[in-house]
């Protein structure tokens, strides 16, 4: 191993760059070393190796970025034989509105009802391919700041009959 000791590396010519190594090379910076950036860093934060807001979005603050990247609500529940929550975040309860019809009630309301949600449902004793989504009839999905009402139904039936299911999950991203 060779050691190179210098105080400054200057590229040849104005506006040119210095290349350290080739593609695939690894440079190791030992612990306790302080790197100072007096220009514009891109791709990494040498002071702590963190992912910063500049790498993820153009939002004004890191706090805004974190708020946008984190799920506000998620839940795993069983609606067959009585509704029971297996695990959750920001869910106070689930209301059983009838066969295949549930309302997920949030512990803390969201800032508005323009959130994005995704979910799935699976395994029903009556069989068929099931999905989590719109309920049949005149009552469709109900999106509110404090809750989300969804249904599980059988896709094998032209009537999309509502069915209670064993495995249901939902995740929600939005403003808090």
pLDDT tens string 114-173: 999 998 888 766 665 556 665 545 456 788 999 998 888 776 656 667 788 888 999 999
Q: What pLDDT does 132 receive?
A: 65
Is pLDDT at 42 greater than 60 in this prediction? no
Predicted confidence (pLDDT) at residue 79 exceeds the cutoff of 80: yes
108 confidence band (pLDDT: 50, 70, 90) = very high
- Give the per-residue pLDDT at 121: 85
| DSSP per-residue string spanning 114-132 | --EEEEEEE--TT-S-EEE
Q: Is the pTM of this model over 0.85?
A: no
Distance CA 95, CA 93 (A): 7
Report the relative pairing of strands 142-143 and 101-106 from DSSP bridges. unpaired
Q: Are 135 and 149 in contact (CB under 8 A)?
A: yes
Mean pLDDT score of the chain: 78
- The mean pLDDT of 65-79, rounded to a whole number, is 86
Residue in 85, 86, 150, 95 with CA at minimum distance from that of residue 117 = 150
Q: What is the pLDDT of residue 72?
A: 94
Closest CA to 144 of 170, 120, 115: 115
Report d(CA 15, CA 130) in Å as an integer. 61
Alpha helices in the chain, H assignment, sequence order: 53-56, 62-69
């Amino acid at each position: 191993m060779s050691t190179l000791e210098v105080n400054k590396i200057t590229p040849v010519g104005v506006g040119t760059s210095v290349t350290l190594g080739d593609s695939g090379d690894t440079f190791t910076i030992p612990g306790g070393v302080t790197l100072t950036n007096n220009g514009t860093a891109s791709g990494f934060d040498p002071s702590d190796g963190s992912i910063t807001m500049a790498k993820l979005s153009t939002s004004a603050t890191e706090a805004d970025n974190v708020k946008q990247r984190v799920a506000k609500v998620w839940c795993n529940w069983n609606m067959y034989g009585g509704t029971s929550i297996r695990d959750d975040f920001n869910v106070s309860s689930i209301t059983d509105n009838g066969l295949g019809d549930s309302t997920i009630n949030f512990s803390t309301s969201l800032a508005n009802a323009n959130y994005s949600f995704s979910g799935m449902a699976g395994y029903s004793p009556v069989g068929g391919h099931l999905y989590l989504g719109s309920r049949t009839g005149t009552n469709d999905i109900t999106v509110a700041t404090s809750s989300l009402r969804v249904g599980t139904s059988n896709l094998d039936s032209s009537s999309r009959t509502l069915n209670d299911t064993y495995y249901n999950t939902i995740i929600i991203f939005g403003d808090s």
